[in-house]
Structure 1
Amino acid sequence: MSRVPESVTRFLTAVGALVLPVVRAVRRAVLPFLRVVTPLGWLVLGLGLVAFVLSAIFGWQEFTYLAAVLLAAVVVSVFFLFGRASYGVLIELNPRRVVVGDRAMGRMLVSNTGARNLPPTRMELPVGRGLAEFQLPSMKPKEEHEELFAVPTSKRAVIVAGPSESVRGDQLGLLRRSQKWADPVDLFVHPRTVRLAPSAAGLVRDLEGQVSNKITNNDIAFHALRPYVPGDDRRYVHWRTSARIGQLMVRQFQETRRSQVTMIHASRSDLYASEEEFELAVSVTASIAAQIIRDGTQMNVVSEAGMWRTQTVTAMLDASCRVEPAGREFATLRGFARERTKRLPAPSVVMIVGGSRMTVADFRSVQSLFGQDTSQVGFHIVEGAEPKISAVAGLTMTTVGDLSDLPSLVRGLTG
């Protein structure tokens, strides 16, 4: 196979260097005009051109009239695009955070910030997956117009309202020119939660200050003496014993537990029997996490998507709004838990939350990642099931069938 001459390669490179900037410039200039044509507009243009070609080939007057009407409709629609808007738009949501099912209202305040009268315009406001449309009247300079709207809060979510768009176009919808106003505003629809009694954190508090079997050189629970080795801290030398036996001896300690809770929320969709069961699991996790944060205990919550923010109860509830059913991002549940917790502090308590299709073997596979000194509780979310607490090889299994059962179940864990 013959090689392309170097001179030809240089020529093509030079042509490309000249042509590409021209193509980009033309594209930048033409695209804004092409964007104003709606899908219906492109259909009308296509039918008009087809009708024109057929009339030219076959000389059929009917297609000539059809082509003229269709193309004329597009030309007339162009005149509806002219005009410059000068709006000031303020979007407010009150309140910014609600619980599923609570009422949330929004307000859009539109003002004419220009020096000329503005004609009637349609304003579109995306609210979540929906779209609210408002017909604005003609507005004099500095005049304001207010629109109120309700925000659906039937599902846990982060609902984004805005940005609003003023729309110019013809009544047929062939051409459309829109301009964005204002910044989007977030509404956090928190999951339903139940308030747990302060005693519910007893599982965590009981661990504070308890000693483990791990031996350390620096703690408060004395264990034994051992011979001094170079590098030991001399503050822990036991001088009386050292003087009596003629050899330096240092203290050893048993490591005391410090409360650190890790909650592992499995959000894989195939682990749940229904959407309602998934929402129940989120509510259980959020309820327990909220109480632990109120009690001032260090904690982390992880799910397939990553780590939740847990600095405050509000931050945690905001993070819970973003949890969605996930696919198989990890080969196994154990792999997911290992990856998401490997950079976290060693926990004193691990809580695992999963759906009805998560087996005891799945819970135990996660349990095996942590040492015997770590207390572990599995929350098996089975919608409609009878609440119960059982023990399986060092793992306390708690079955939750309804959110209202959670306070009594947690009291049972700490009783």
Structure 2
Amino acid sequence: MTSHALGTAGAAQERGVAVGAAAHLASIALRWLRGVFAVVRPVAWVLIAAAVVLWIFGQILGWWELTVAAVVVTTVLVLCLLFLIGRTAYEVSLDLNRTRVVVGERAVGALTLANSGSRAILPSRVLLPVGSGRGVFEVGRLAPGDTAEELFAIPTTRRAVVKVGPVSVVRGDPLGLFERVHRRDEPVDLFVHPRTVLFDGQSLGFLRDLEGLPATDLSRDDVSFHALREYQPGDDLRHVHWKSTARTGDLMVRQYEETRRSHFVIGLSTSPADYRGDDEFELAISAAGSLGLRALRDSQRVEVRVQERGLPAGTGKQFLDALSGLAHSRPRAGSIVELAGSVAATLALASVVVLVCGSTVDANDLRTACSRLPFGARVLAVVADSGATSPTLRRIGEADVVTIGALEQLAGALRKVLA
């Protein structure tokens, strides 16, 4: 390699090193600027700008009054900056006594701050975000080895998934000009489950046969005997009925009905157009939750569908957690009719289907929705109507339709269906 080539390679390497160093310095400067903008509050920027203007015009115009004002403002800014000096290295522990509660139950937590260092930590404020709000705790000076505990209660008046945390330790001045925030710990999810009611009886009275419901399809091999027929090539010889064969002289085999295993499906409409208001929507969710929990306790296979997706329902905890965060679907996701079509397309072997909706769904739409469900499935529709004073039962097509105005009416409405 020639000396010219070596010189060119060395120059390129030096340029690369210089570019890398410049990029590193730029990233450091960018982090520093972010830190500055995070510390300085909007009021402080106004005072800084005022101090600069006062200094400039005080010097240009020679007015000592402006210079004195500049000195005062600058002194206030410097004194407030001194409040940021000090450690905020707390050990933070956020503990909720329960991470799953029912609407209306008391949710209590404890926030523990500990100073594990060798120097005292000056007073500071601790911010604890709770959902859309936040709690503010004033923490005094903590000597080495000391701890401070703050108890708090979380309102659970509505079904939701409430994110608690992360904890932020704030060091600032009394005037609120500068504020240094350090985040500690990880957020915790609090699941506020919908209210549910318990039922008596197996499988809501719909399915009592452990082997499932017989279907109209005939099969060569199942557990429900249907009839005898002549042997056809390919039939299993284990199903030959020898007594009938000896009597008729023709080879006869058993024929069976296929059975549909107990498969409990809940179709819960989340379309805002299907409900008169939020109260009806919450009632529908509580009814769906109650029905699903009963089926799970009866060891049924439970599937839950809402517009455009399914909800996890492998266990009661999974099911209620999913209901806690359920919200209205987008208008273009469709109504109860489209939901029924989705159930038929994805869960064709359902043995029991329960449709849950609000009072704005008329009888024609409900009839259309029920007609779209898998053939042979037992269909029940539960209508949440905030204006209903007592449960009612009616028949639409092949479906039983119950209307309830309160969750406590659900058990009585189901008894009417089974009567």
**Partner residue of 1:188 out of 184, 187, 191:** 191
- Match status 1:390 vs 2:398: no
**SS of residue matched to 1:192:** coil
**SS of residue matched to 1:196:** coil
Give the gaps of 5 or more residues in structure 2. 1-17
**Partner residue of 1:266 out of 265, 269, 280:** 269
CA–CA separation in structure 1 for the residues paired with 2:107 and 2:163: 13
* 1:306-331 CA-partner distances (Å, limit 9, x unpaired): 43332332332222211122322514
Per mean C-alpha deviation after superposition, the further-off stretch among 313-322 and 258-267 is 313-322
Residues 197 and 240 (structure 1 numbering): CA distance in 2 closer, same or farther, change over 3 Å?
A: closer
- Match status 1:403 vs 2:407: yes
* 1:174-225 CA-partner distances (Å, limit 9, x unpaired): 2211112222223222222222122571113369543221222321222345
Residue number in structure 2 paired with 1:11: none
CA–CA separation in structure 2 for the residues paired with 1:70 and 1:248: 109
Alpha-carbon contact 2:358-2:384 (below 8 Å) kept: yes
Residue number in structure 1 paired with 2:140: 137
CA–CA separation in structure 1 for the residues paired with 2:63 and 2:397: 86
What TM-score comes out, normalization by structure 1 length? 0.84
* 1:255-290 CA-partner distances (Å, limit 9, x unpaired): 123211100111222322222221111111111111
CA–CA separation in structure 1 for the residues paired with 2:249 and 2:63: 121
Per mean C-alpha deviation after superposition, the further-off stretch among 249-258 and 276-285 is 249-258
CA–CA separation in structure 2 for the residues paired with 1:42 and 1:230: 91
Query: Identical aligned pairs, as a percentage?
Result: 35
Residue number in structure 2 paired with 1:213: 216
Residue number in structure 1 paired with 2:165: 162
**SS of residue matched to 2:207:** helix
Give 2:401's aligned amino acid: M
**SS of residue matched to 1:204:** coil
Residue number in structure 1 paired with 2:156: 153
Q: Give how far 1:355 is off.
A: 1.1
Give the gaps of 5 or more residues in structure 1. 1-14
Residues 208 and 412 (structure 1 numbering): CA distance in 2 closer, same or farther, change over 3 Å?
A: farther
Alpha-carbon contact 1:78-1:175 (below 8 Å) kept: yes
CA–CA separation in structure 2 for the residues paired with 1:36 and 1:276: 44
Q: Give how far 1:411 is off.
A: 1.2
**Partner residue of 1:255 out of 258, 281, 285:** 258
Residues 332 and 380 (structure 1 numbering): CA distance in 2 closer, same or farther, change over 3 Å?
A: closer
Residues 223 and 204 (structure 1 numbering): CA distance in 2 closer, same or farther, change over 3 Å?
A: closer
Give 1:407's aligned amino acid: A
Alpha-carbon contact 2:213-2:262 (below 8 Å) kept: no
Report the structure number with the largest CA radius of gyration.
2
Per mean C-alpha deviation after superposition, the further-off stretch among 129-138 and 26-35 is 26-35
Would you say how many aligned residue pairs link Structure 1 and Structure 2? Answer: 401
Per mean C-alpha deviation after superposition, the further-off stretch among 273-282 and 79-88 is 79-88
Residue number in structure 2 paired with 1:311: 314
- Match status 1:97 vs 2:100: yes
**Partner residue of 2:204 out of 196, 201, 205:** 201
CA–CA separation in structure 1 for the residues paired with 2:76 and 2:345: 64
What TM-score comes out, normalization by structure 2 length? 0.83
Residue number in structure 1 paired with 2:87: 84
Residue number in structure 1 paired with 2:35: 32
Per mean C-alpha deviation after superposition, the further-off stretch among 401-410 and 121-130 is 121-130
**SS of residue matched to 1:180:** strand
Per mean C-alpha deviation after superposition, the further-off stretch among 384-393 and 197-206 is 197-206
Per mean C-alpha deviation after superposition, the further-off stretch among 166-175 and 32-41 is 32-41
Per mean C-alpha deviation after superposition, the further-off stretch among 27-36 and 50-59 is 50-59
Alpha-carbon contact 1:89-1:108 (below 8 Å) kept: yes
Give 2:357's aligned amino acid: G
**SS of residue matched to 2:318:** helix
Per mean C-alpha deviation after superposition, the further-off stretch among 181-190 and 206-215 is 206-215
Residue number in structure 2 paired with 1:4: none
Q: Give how far 1:236 is off.
A: 3.3
Give 2:372's aligned amino acid: L
Alpha-carbon contact 2:202-2:298 (below 8 Å) kept: no
RMSD of the alignment, in Å?
3.3
CA–CA separation in structure 1 for the residues paired with 2:349 and 2:292: 18
Alpha-carbon contact 2:344-2:373 (below 8 Å) kept: no
Alpha-carbon contact 1:200-1:407 (below 8 Å) kept: no
CA–CA separation in structure 1 for the residues paired with 2:235 and 2:283: 52
CA–CA separation in structure 2 for the residues paired with 1:384 and 1:71: 66
Q: Give how far 1:19 is off.
A: 7.6
CA–CA separation in structure 2 for the residues paired with 1:231 and 1:38: 84
**SS of residue matched to 1:326:** coil
**SS of residue matched to 2:266:** strand
**SS of residue matched to 2:320:** helix
Residues 176 and 382 (structure 1 numbering): CA distance in 2 closer, same or farther, change over 3 Å?
A: same
Alpha-carbon contact 2:355-2:382 (below 8 Å) kept: yes
CA–CA separation in structure 2 for the residues paired with 1:231 and 1:37: 84
Q: Give how far 1:44 is off.
A: 4.0
Alpha-carbon contact 2:344-2:374 (below 8 Å) kept: no
**SS of residue matched to 2:291:** helix
CA–CA separation in structure 1 for the residues paired with 2:62 and 2:366: 77
Q: Give how far 1:390 is off.
A: 0.4
**Partner residue of 2:238 out of 215, 235, 244:** 235
Residue number in structure 1 paired with 2:4: none
**SS of residue matched to 2:37:** helix
